[in-house]
Structure 1
């Protein structure tokens, strides 16, 4: 008999729980790409060009802290398409 884990829509509940019951405070590049509807390749290019949110890199693993993601989302939010997103 298989147990099903309820799916959590990425980006909708930033304080989601891990299977062990611990609160998740960071997203990996795959989860962030899903949250924003981007490709992982775009996030990698942004890191190379120093555009996206601040990230943590340990070895080959790249993670983004949720408070850095939310801060970046606030910085690039605009009321008008006339203003520049990146300054």
Structure 2
């Protein structure tokens, strides 16, 4: 059975459905937050205002951006789960 099939099957069981959907909703929210904030952070880092910032701060910010980018990319492997919607939604 596909992942979507398993999710849909569990959706029909009230308690399991709530637990599965709560976890899925929080993970999806986390993914969307990371994705949205990464775009904004990268825009800030590439702006003229950031050019005068201390190089150690720039390096630290870039290291965190790199880590968050890796996290986002790792989560994108699981888009089938993150993008699943309940049958009655």
Normalised to the residue count of structure 1, the TM-score between the two structures is 0.28
Q: Which has the higher strand share?
A: 1
Q: Which has the higher helix share?
A: 2
Larger CA Rg, structure 1 vs 2: 2
Looking at both structures, which has the greater relative contact order when contacts are Cα pairs under 8 Å and sequence separation is at least 6?
2
Normalised to the residue count of structure 2, the TM-score between the two structures is 0.28
